[in-house]
Amino acid sequence: MLLLFQDATAPRIISGPTVTNIVADAATVQWQTDEPTIGGADWGSGSIDETAYATQHSLAMTGLAPETGYTVTVFATDGAGNGPVSADASFTTTAAADTTPPTIIAGPTVSGLTYEGAVIEWETDESATTEIGGDLTATVAGYRTQHRVELTGLAALTGYSLTLSSSDLAGNGPTTAAVQFTTLS
């Protein structure tokens, strides 16, 4: 006599879901079931389905928006069709990496010109370093949007050609601009 038992018990999610490897545009959701299941994950703006039965589940969620909160729902169905069972996890993606160098939006200007000095000013669209190179070198410590360098000890009636540069906190840049001037007699 052959006895056939039909599986009528739904699988259980026994661990997770947990969200790991969270970056600006992607994350991984993982969970564990008490028997082999097939399922997937849905996070509102996207979803992904598994292609094989397993007890350890891991799916990559891609195409996410930076600095955005999500709730992901995972689901699982066993080979007998029991389920789906589901569970949720919430997470927030990280900020997108800053890859844009600062832009010089005003200047450079030369003012306060004397026989031995000058003031160079410019403005950037984000906080950035203040550096001058070329015929003279100068650095002002810190990050700012309003850049001002007072040059002293210059030679009278002398032409100077300078390159101004600014890099942002993420290291993007430098953004450069050129300026020339001649000191007074």
* pLDDT score of 183 more than 90: yes
Average pLDDT of the segment spanning 90-107: 95
Superfamily of domain 13-92: Immunoglobulins (2.60.40.10)
User: 148 with 120: CB under 8 angstroms?
Assistant: yes
Give the dihedral sign, CA 51/33/42/63: negative
Average pLDDT of the segment spanning 23-46: 96
Same CATH fold, 104-182 and 13-92? yes
* pLDDT score of 120 more than 90: yes
Q: What is the mean pLDDT of the chain?
A: 94
* pLDDT score of 163 more than 70: yes
* pLDDT score of 143 more than 70: yes
| Domain chopping of the chain, boundaries | 13-92, 104-182
CA distance 14 to 87: 10
Going by their DSSP bridges, the two strands 47-49 and 54-62 should be labelled as: unpaired
For the chain, the 3-state helix, strand and coil shares in percent, each to the nearest 5, are: 0, 60, 40
Q: Is 104-182 in CATH node 2.60.40.10?
A: yes
| Short-list 93, 105, 113, CA closest to 29 | 93
- Amino acid 59: pLDDT: 97
- Amino acid 8: pLDDT: 80
Average pLDDT of the segment spanning 90-99: 94
**Which letter, b or e, does each residue of 3-16 get, where b requires 16 or more Cβ atoms within 10 Å of its Cβ?**
eeeeeeebbebeeb
